[in-house]
Each structure stands twice: as structure tokens, then as C-alpha cells.
Amino acid sequence: MKTLINTQSMFKLFVLIGLLVISAGNVMAQQKTKKSTALPDSVKIAVINLNVIRRNAKVVVDISKQISVYAKSYQEEVQKEDKALKAANAKLLQKRTILAREAFVAERKKFEQKVVAMQRLVQKRKQDLNKARSDAMLVVEEQLSKIIADLAEKQDIGIIVRQNQVILSSKQLDITDTVLAQLDKVLPSHKVAKLGKK
């Protein structure tokens, strides 16, 4: 009887030890897996002021100058058309007493069509300028994104935050000047697409 109890106790003990060994092996394997997928102990963070770059970059200044030249040309064109419309309106008012009512209404209708055409021209010019600026700035934004991505990779930066989303940061975290200098070097100017006249 003692032998039977001892044999059963020994068997249970071996089973228990076996289960503990297997459990310990599983726990160690899980810990190894967790370590391989865990985040690094520290992540390098940087701060960037995109507004400063979009305002001060050489290419942005260059694009603004070109757009200003187009805007001035359009303004002169609009002023010339406006002057012609005012003169036509003055003539029309003089004819009011001379022309028959039907003839005056026909002349007035022609004048109103010219006014509508002028308004459409002004609207088209605004759209042309906005599109030219947007297209040019898209090129700048693409280059800027590439520069930021390259810098993040080279300096092993894990997170880049816009300055307007940060309450307080060290000047050492700021990469604005570095990115601006690189953009000025890589893309100092950009030719704005030529805008049509009509």
C-alpha cells in the first residue's frame, strides 16, 4: 500500500514538474516575441514650423513675384475694359433722348452683355491666378515633403510635430531652419505656368 501511494505520488509529482517546465517554456517564448515587436526605449522627436517655410522659402518668394506680375497685367487689362465700359455707358446715356425706345433698349441690352462679359473675365482671371499659385505650390509641397522624409530617415526621427500643435519645446528639437536651407538649395525657384490672355 505504501509503495502504491508512493508510486502515485511520484507520478503526480513528475506530471506537475512536466507541466511547470512546459508553462515556463511558453512564458519565455512569449516574452521573446514581445521584446521583438516592442517599441524602442526612446523615440526621437522634432518640431517644424511650416508657416515660416511657406513664407520665407526662396521658391515661395519667387512664385509670389511671378504671380504679382500676372496680377498686375490682369489689373491693367481690367482697368482698360472698365474705362471702355464707362465710356460706352456715358454714350448710351447721351443717346437715350435721341433714340427711339426700342432702339435704346436694344443698345442697353448690348451694353449689359458687355458688363456681364467683363464680370466673367474678372472671375476667370482670379481663377487663373489661384490655379497658377496652387499648381506651383503643389510642386513646393511635394519637394518639402521629400526633404522632411529624408531628414527624418537620416537623423532617425520617429515623430515630427508642427510647431502650432506644441505648447512648449526645446529649440534643439526645431528642424525648421535645416529644412528651409535644404529647400532653398534644392528648389530655389520655380517657373509658374504661363497664363493665357482669354
Q: What Cα–Cα distance (Å) separates residue 17 from each residue in 3, 20, 21, 22, 27?
A: 21, 5, 6, 9, 15
pLDDT for the residue numbered 39: 55
CA–CA gap between residue 110 and residue 105 (Å, rounded): 9
The residue whose grid cell reads 515630427 is: 160
pLDDT tens-digit series, residues 60-96: 999 999 999 999 988 998 899 889 888 888 888 888 8
Please report the pLDDT score of residue 107 as a whole number.
Answer: 84
Q: Check residue 4 and give its pLDDT.
A: 44
- State residue 123's pLDDT score: 92
Give whole-number Cα distances, 102 to 26, 88, 91, 98, in Å. 100, 18, 17, 12
Other CB atoms within a 10 A radius of the CB of residue 60 amount to 20
**Segments of the chain with pLDDT less than 50:** 1-5, 21, 27, 35-36
